[in-house]
A = this chain, B = another copy of it.
């Protein structure tokens, strides 16, 4: 995954900030150029189209998230691996809230030109959770069930994380983390 610098970096950063609040379709190339401090012509020199610009943005962002999750799980097993993944995802959302908002709003859209790219990356990130779940309870669950449970955990962290950061930023990170862990530790439906 290539890391960009210079003009491309400035354009991608401006694009992400704008898209997080206005959405992708609602973000114009004129606004991106202005925020990035370049002319519109430079946008099209560095990225062949608006679609390609957003495809590269999502590729970089979601790819980095998948890498973060892989690192967080490394060397850990069972319950410890899952707790580390939940914490790492929550921290990832906190440190790149713009990307998280963008992911939440784009992840279930099926009309984009970059649909297949985003689908593969999303699958990659979810697979880290699914594998950790499968390993935690070997033999007792099929792959599909582990995938669903991975979605369940991912959705829980994404939603409560954004709830915190967007609507209730005063709250402390550890409160959010504790509420999520409590939910999945049987605090809601357990015994």
Task: Spell out A's residues near B (CB within 8 Å).
Answer: 21-23, 25-26, 79, 82-83, 101, 104-111, 119, 133, 136-137, 144-145, 147-149, 151-160, 162-164, 166-168, 171, 175-176, 178-191
Whether the Cβ atoms of A179 and B145 lie closer than 8 Å is yes
Known: A109-B105, A149-B183, A152-B156. A133 touches B23 (CB 8 A): no
Identical chains bound together, number: 2
Known: A148-B179, A184-B188, A185-B186. A23 touches B156 (CB 8 A): no
| A148 contact from B79, B82, B145, B176, Cβ within 8 A | B176
Give Cα A41 to B158, complex, Å: 41
Give Cα A79 to B188, complex, Å: 7
Contacts of A162 in B (CB 8 A): 108
Contacts of A148 in B (CB 8 A): 160, 163-164, 171, 175-176, 179-180
Contacts of A25 in B (CB 8 A): 23, 25-26
Whether the Cβ atoms of B176 and A181 lie closer than 8 Å is no
Whether the Cβ atoms of A137 and B101 lie closer than 8 Å is no
